[in-house]
Chains A and B, each alone.
Chain A
Amino acid sequence: ETGVTQTPRHLVMGMTNKKSLKCEQHLGHNAMYWYKQSAKKPLELMFVYSLEERVENNSVPSRFSPECPNSSHLFLHLHTLQPEDSALYLCASSPDASGRIETQYFGPGTRLLVL
């Protein structure tokens, strides 16, 4: 247990569906992240929130929409996804709100399959 939980763990959706991924951190951290992990590729940073404000959006398609209602919760809203969006979506948190990252704490991920 890393102190970061994600639900659901597995998700299958059609291209016309709308779904949301949820992340919760119990560590009192100030920054939260969404990553996309595809096989044999480096982790791709999608979004970063620090103190509940979005600080980074790495050219992610608008069919992915993040939401951070408070410092412990992070959502990723999905709509009209494409099959190439199938991947493992990881949530992470880090203690520092200054932008320095020495350690990140990851959730177990949501395995997403888009049909």
Chain B
Amino acid sequence: GQSLEQPSEVTAVEGAIVQINCTYQTSGFYGLSWYQQHDGGAPTFLSYNALDGLEETGRFSSFLSRSDSYGYLLLQELQMKDSASYFCALFTGSNYQLIWGAGTKLIIKP
């Protein structure tokens, strides 16, 4: 089957760096996406990795390693507003379908 695993919760300190991992089991896919969702809000797109390596967008970076079957989202210089849930999602190429992880709740302490 196809599945994504993420930690259910991660805690970090304001100003620090945190990494949220996403491991997957699938026979093949096109890319890995990351979404952020604040409580009561809509999921918003953060990044998409089609190739192995690091994609950087400001304080957020996303990494993919197909050989190791995992990716991660790296958040730097954490701010209180980064407290949210973060979801990874795989686009496998099946028509319009994404496989979603269950999400990681990021708790940031002052």
Q: Given A2-B44, A100-B30, A108-B41, A40 and B98 touching (CB < 8 A)?
A: no
Contact of B87 among A33, A43, A108 (CB under 8 A): A43
Residues of A within 8 A of B54 (CB): none
A108 x B100 contact (CB < 8 A): no
Residues of A within 8 A of B101 (CB): 42
Interface string of A99-115 (1 = CB under 8 A from B): 11111111111000000
> Complex: how many Å from CA A90 to CA B44?
12
Tell me the B82-99 residues at the A interface (CB within 8 Å): 87, 89, 91, 93, 95-99
Number of interface residues of A (CB under 8 A): 27
Tell me the B19-47 residues at the A interface (CB within 8 Å): 30-31, 33, 35, 40-45
B95 x A42 contact (CB < 8 A): no
Q: Given A90-B43, A105-B45, A106-B42, A42 and B96 touching (CB < 8 A)?
A: no
| Range class of the B interface residue count | 20 to 34
Residues of A within 8 A of B41 (CB): 108
B95 x A56 contact (CB < 8 A): yes
A101 x B43 contact (CB < 8 A): no
Contact of A103 among B40, B42, B48, B96 (CB under 8 A): B48
B102 within 8 A of A: yes
B42 x A108 contact (CB < 8 A): yes
B8 within 8 A of A: yes
B45 x A101 contact (CB < 8 A): no
B33 x A102 contact (CB < 8 A): yes
> Complex: how many Å from CA A2 to CA B30?
24
Q: Given A40-B103, A42-B101, A43-B87, A101 and B42 touching (CB < 8 A)?
A: no
A48 within 8 A of B: yes
Shortest Cβ distance from A93 into chain B, in angstroms?
11
Contact of A90 among B8, B31, B42, B95 (CB under 8 A): B42
> Complex: how many Å from CA A102 to CA B40?
24
Beyond the given pairs A42-B99, A102-B50, A106-B35, 9 more chain A to chain B contacts, judged by CB atoms under 8 angstroms and listed by A's residue number, are A42-B87, A45-B97, A48-B95, A48-B96, A50-B96, A103-B48, A106-B42, A107-B42, A108-B42
